[in-house]
Amino acid sequence: MNNIRNEFGQNLEEFLIDYKQNQLMRYPKPSVTVDTLIFTVKEKLSANYRKLPKKQLYVLLIKRKDHPCINEWALPGGFINLDENLDESALRELKEETNLDELYIEQLYTFGDKDRDPRTRIVSVSYMALIPQNYQGELFAGDDAMDADWFKVDFKLKDQSQSLTEDNENVIIQTYELKLTNECSNAEELVANIKIVNRIKHQNLVREIEIISQNAIAFDHSKIICYGLERLKNKVEYTDIIFSLMPKTFTLSELQQVYELLLDEKLYAAHFRRKIEPKLIRLTDQTTGGKGHRPAQRYVYNPLWQLQKNLGGE
Amino acid sequence: MNNIRNEFGQNLEEFLIDYKQNQLMRYPKPSVTVDTLIFTVKEKLSANYRKLPKKQLYVLLIKRKDHPCINEWALPGGFINLDENLDESALRELKEETNLDELYIEQLYTFGDKDRDPRTRIVSVSYMALIPQNYQGELFAGDDAMDADWFKVDFKLKDQSQSLTEDNENVIIQTYELKLTNECSNAEELVANIKIVNRIKHQNLVREIEIISQNAIAFDHSKIICYGLERLKNKVEYTDIIFSLMPKTFTLSELQQVYELLLDEKLYAAHFRRKIEPKLIRLTDQTTGGKGHRPAQRYVYNPLWQLQKNLGGE
DNA sequence: ATAATAGTGTCTTTCAGACAGTATAGT
DNA sequence: ACTATACTGTCTGAAAGACACTATTAT
């Protein structure tokens, strides 16, 4: 089998020796990096003792210590090693740069536009990670970073208009503002203006994300953040990914709040309970007291439900 | 701004000159390829003149002319050029190797396991393309290929069992058979046995696809095909992607048949009409005659519907 | 008592599922 | 007349949507 010869009379072994010697000449190689988008949810206490704390979405960024984009904020990530799989690279870089560990990660998208990095052609495989609200791990900046911090995420639609392109094509152009606020240190605020062009290409809706302007956000990382936000929102609707953002136990109201945060719409409590309670979660014997109102039951997620649902075949 | 100096006293310009001179030493680079999974639907005429032709899913493969995996069937694709974006690479390779053009493509997943290619570390960005049933373009094998042909796709669940791993983890193991049949030339049949391990990892369902055995399918391409099949099935449920597989005009029955093919379940015609007809499609004045039964109205897809639905905000 | 959240009951509307029944062609 | 598909009408039941109502707590 391995002794089949190609048109130059080489068998596999000979071919590989030849290939490895001359590979630099054969094809120019880009660099490959992994970048990880890490989301979490944090609570903001209200002045009113009775009110529930408000939930907010956060993303983790690190401050770059070197060119290019020196002093700007970027997603944690870096070059892959040749002896590790892509997800292993993502986890390693995460550990190195932020000390985060034991996360749920999933591949998001691969960004490889030819001019996305001034150094050389760099293809970036992006990952999305979610960590629970009350995560207690130590966060510190690693070697390549001056700083690592959580930024509050606000992604707002500013404008939307339908128009015709020169090719008589119907497009909807949306303008978003992505605002990232670092409340911890010196209240740094990063803003990116994003244009999303929605067009029909070969009968399919295509959303092209474009950075109009940004300040202190490295590379095309604000684009990756937008992409991740959209994916997160979508996955909340058809998977149980949301529980990766929840603490071990939680009340139904807390869960509903996170749903509302991610879906950006109000849900009806009664219907929400009927839908979630009997399947996805299990009652614990804990309750949340100390608030100025009726204490709530705490629940845990029942991950086995997913195995049954998707596979058990009813 | 660009004159900020790093810890070695370099500004951006100096840094880049230094980087470009020494980049080979800095980080080892993998190769990057794009591979495109091309699906289409074909009809098989029935012996009975009254019966509708049966629809089947097909994938396009090319026969490799060189090592590695010489004489085996692979997805069309190849190394990216450094001066083109990833999707441009995918389209170029497609044109070169199969003469297909003007397709809807979308990025699928990036496969980058360390040992997936014997030559060197190769990261492959996979794309999925759909072409309509009655596509008339000329198909021919390009430079790197001996042959390019359509293979009928059969992906069947063979076995499924729940078990506990050594870590007391609940997993469901599914065994699938992926059968690819080339009916045109010498009725070649490629078979891959695929194991999918469904486990709960950090509370989330993870499906790990593993090739148990395969014959005459190159690299890990059967894995990519499985991944694409799953994605296709999912996207059919929540997008209008299916119309990329349909001819310009079609009957409701034809559309329903393709839905049933992809979702692998029977749908109720009455309900199907009520759901699809008023929104997604528009009646034409054509009908399908010549069959031994009542002729059907032909419809066209209304792609603008998507723009309205997803964005018009009701 | 009050203000807030926790949780239940019930009505309406929408839509999926199921199936019977009518319509219309070619042979 | 037969057969296969095309298309419509209508029932059922399960969810989604909406809202009113009761329960419970710290201050």
Q: What is the pLDDT of residues A8-38, one digit of tens each?
A: 888 888 888 888 888 766 778 999 999 999 9
What's the first-to-final CA gap in chain A, in angstroms? 45
B240:A203 CB<8 A: yes
Rounded to 10 degrees, the C-alpha dihedral B288/B293/B294/B300 comes to -30
B176 contact residues in A (CB cutoff 8 A): none
Token output for B50: 């009254």
A78, HSE (Cβ side, Cα atoms, 13 Å) = 22
- At residue B23, the pLDDT reads 72
Distance B54 CA to C14 C1' (A): 34
A118:B203 CB<8 A: no
Distance A297 CA to C10 C1' (A): 24
Smallest CA–C1' distance to D10, residue: B270
- At residue B314, the pLDDT reads 34
- At residue A135, the pLDDT reads 83
Answer yes or no: is pLDDT of B1 > 60.
no
- At residue B311, the pLDDT reads 67
B307:A170 CB<8 A: yes
Distance in Å, alpha carbon of A138 to nearest chain B alpha carbon: 19
B239 contact residues in A (CB cutoff 8 A): 204-205
Count of CB atoms within 10 A of residue B139's CB? Answer: 12
Q: Which nucleotides of C are covered by protein (CB under 7 A)?
A: 3-10, 15-20, 23-27
Smallest CA–C1' distance to C8, residue: A270
Percent of residues in chain B assigned helix, strand, coil, to nearest 5: 25, 40, 35
Burial of B292 (0-12, 13-18, 19+ CB in 10 A): exposed
Residue type, B310: N
CB nearest to B307's CB, from A79, A81, A205: A205
B82:A239 CB<8 A: no
B114:A4 CB<8 A: no
pLDDT tens, residue by residue, B188-201: 999 999 999 999 98
Chains A–B, number of C-beta pairs less than 8 Å apart = 207
- At residue A311, the pLDDT reads 67
Q: What are phi and psi of A48, to 5 degrees?
A: -70, 120
In Å, how far from its chain's centre is CA B232? 7
B82:A30 CB<8 A: yes
Q: Which of B248, B264, B261, B294 is nearest to B54 (CA)?
A: B261
Distance in Å, alpha carbon of B227 to nearest chain A alpha carbon: 13
Distance in Å, alpha carbon of A292 to nearest chain B alpha carbon: 32
Q: Which residue of A has its CA nearest to B241?
A: A204
Q: Which protein residues, judged by their CB atom, are less than 7 Å from any atom of strand D?
A: A 49, 268-271, 274-275, 289-295; B 48, 50-52, 251-253, 269-270, 273, 288, 291-297
Pairwise CA distance, residues B84 & A268, whole Å: 49
Question: Which pairs from B63-66 meet CB under 8 Å and 24+ separation?
Answer: B63/B141, B63/B145, B63/B146, B63/B147, B63/B148, B63/B149, B64/B144, B64/B145, B64/B146, B64/B218, B65/A6, B65/A7, B65/B144, B65/B145, B65/B146, B66/A6, B66/A7, B66/A15, B66/B144
pLDDT tens, residue by residue, B240-289: 999 999 999 999 999 999 999 999 999 999 999 999 998 899 999 999 88
- At residue A152, the pLDDT reads 97
Q: Which residue of B has its CA nearest to A311?
A: B172
Distance A71 CA to D4 C1' (A): 72
Residue B269: which nucleotide is closest by CA–C1'?
D7
B203 contact residues in A (CB cutoff 8 A): 104, 240, 243-244, 301, 303
Q: What is the DSSP string of chain A?
A: -TT---TTS--HHHHHHHHHHHHHHHS---EEEEEEEEEEEEEE--SSTTSPPEEEEEEEEEEE-SSSSTTSEE-SEEEPPTTS-HHHHHHHHHHHHH---S-EEEEEEEE--TTS-SSS-EEEEEEEEE--TT--------TTEEEEEEEEEEEEEEEEEEEE-TTS-EEEEEEEEEEEEE-SSS-EEEEEEEEEEEEEETTEEEEEEEEEEESSB-TTHHHHHHHHHHHHHHHHHHSSGGGGGS-SEEEHHHHHHHHHHHHTS---HHHHHHHHHHHHEEEEEEEE-SSSS--EEEEEE-THHHHHHHHS--
In DSSP terms, A198 is beta-bridged to A172, A207
pLDDT tens, residue by residue, B176-189: 999 999 987 678 99
Pairwise CA distance, residues A297 & B225, whole Å: 46
Tens digits of pLDDT across chain A (314 residues): 578 898 888 888 888 888 888 876 677 899 999 999 999 999 999 989 999 999 999 999 999 998 899 999 999 999 999 999 999 999 999 999 999 988 999 999 999 999 999 989 999 999 999 999 988 777 777 777 778 999 999 999 999 999 998 888 889 999 999 999 998 767 899 999 999 999 998 889 999 999 999 999 999 999 999 999 999 999 999 999 999 999 999 999 999 999 999 999 999 999 999 999 988 999 999 999 888 899 999 999 999 888 887 766 43
Pairwise CA distance, residues B90 & A285, whole Å: 55
Comparing B109-118, B225-234, B288-297, which segment has the lowest mean pLDDT? B288-297
pTM of the model: 0.95
B32:A32 CB<8 A: yes
In Å, how far from its chain's centre is CA A10? 46
Answer yes or no: is pLDDT of B59 > 90.
yes
Q: What are phi and psi of B87, to 5 degrees?
A: -70, -30
Peptide bond into A295 cis (omega under 30): no
